[in-house]
Amino acid sequence: MMTKGWLKRANRFCHLRSNAQIHKIRRFCIMSSASQFERGLVGVGDNVVDHYLDQGVYYPGGNALNVAILAHRFGVANSAYIGILGCDQEGAHVRASILAEGLSDSQLRVVKGETGKAKVTLVDGDRVFVGSNKGGVRKRVMLRMDDDDLDLISRLGHVHSSCFSYLEPELPRIRAIAHGLSFDFSTGRDRDYFAAICPLATIAFFSGSDMNDAETEAFIREAHLLGAQTVCVTQGERGAVFSDGRSTLRQGIVQAKVVDTMGAGDAFIGGFLAAMLQGASSEASLLHGATSAAAACEWSGAFGYPHPTS
């Protein structure tokens, strides 16, 4: 039986949200507390630190890590992260941030070299990436699942990863034991890559703010044909489009007092998965995702924890 941890985690961030957003999250948390089961989520793959050049600080980030953290904030009691850090102060800060959010550091690997770093500036609250070290040690050292990782995945059930994780060779092993696999393809448009990964994904996420409605519909059909069971295309201020292969749903954005859009898409994914894993309908999951994305726009960084750049 679930605990009231959902509501407690939502309340931690209520001061950052409008009353309407607070009530939406609370309603979902209360509804979910009646569920007879509780699944978990494991983020596997990329982490970075986002260096805000204009502010002289960096924040922890990276799609797989962000989704694990934000799914936990927005309702998943059992959330975990598996990944590689460099042996530098940025890696130490990422680890400290993971622990501060209540996740374990037991599945982290520390490797000699640099933690992944992205250079970012803000223009009217929107993130603009201006460079990176291409994942740092993650590009050089392959993340391979060991027995403890596979046991964790088997127990919690759902895995989330991304095209930035250099994890492709491990995905078949992961999918063989995971109840579900969500995968963020970001803005990638490589059909051969889609053909290799889509059959493994129970939920395929894409960024598609550059596509009009007709292009989005054609893109979703193609993703299904290539093997994706369900498809969700996020489109910034236009919201998101979701398809299970039988019907298509559209979700608008939830208004926010925008501070920083960094991590908003990952918050949408985290919120969506938090709802879905508790048995919510697709409609409710999309709304929870949109509400979570709005909340994330009201703090700095993907999930906070600024650190001065030395």
Mean pLDDT (whole number) for 177-205: 98
Mean pLDDT (whole number) for 292-309: 97
Length of the chain equals 310
pLDDT > 70 in the chain, percent: 87
How many C-beta atoms surround the C-beta of residue 265 within 10 A? 25
Mean pLDDT (whole number) for 116-138: 89
- Cβ distance 13 to 39 under 8 Å? no
pLDDT above 50 for 187: yes
Q: Which CATH architecture has domain 5-308?
A: 3-Layer(aba) Sandwich (3.40)
Q: What is the predicted pLDDT for the residue at 125?
A: 64
Task: Tell me the pTM.
Answer: 0.89
* Each residue's pLDDT tens digit, 239-266: 999 999 999 999 999 999 999 999 999 9
Mean pLDDT of the chain: 90
pLDDT above 90 for 164: yes
Tell me which long-range contacts 163-166 makes (C-beta under 8 A, separation of at least 24): 163/188, 163/193, 163/197, 164/45, 164/46, 164/62, 164/63, 164/64, 164/135, 165/44, 165/45, 165/46, 165/63, 165/64, 165/138, 166/45, 166/46, 166/135, 166/138, 166/139, 166/142
- pLDDT tier for residue 310 given thresholds of 50, 70 and 90: confident
Q: What is the predicted pLDDT for the residue at 124?
A: 76
Report the candidate in 203, 253, 209 with the shortest Cα–Cα distance to residue 227: 203
Q: Of 120-124, 147-151, 235-239, 278-282, which range is least confident? A: 120-124
Mean pLDDT (whole number) for 162-169: 98
> Is the Cα torsion angle 206, 193, 42, 82 positive or negative in sign?
negative
Q: Of 24-28, 212-216, 279-283, 294-298, which range is least confident? A: 24-28
Domain limits of the chain?
5-308
Q: What is the predicted pLDDT for the residue at 1?
A: 31
* Each residue's pLDDT tens digit, 87-106: 999 999 999 999 999 999 99
- pLDDT tier for residue 2 given thresholds of 50, 70 and 90: very low
pLDDT above 70 for 109: yes
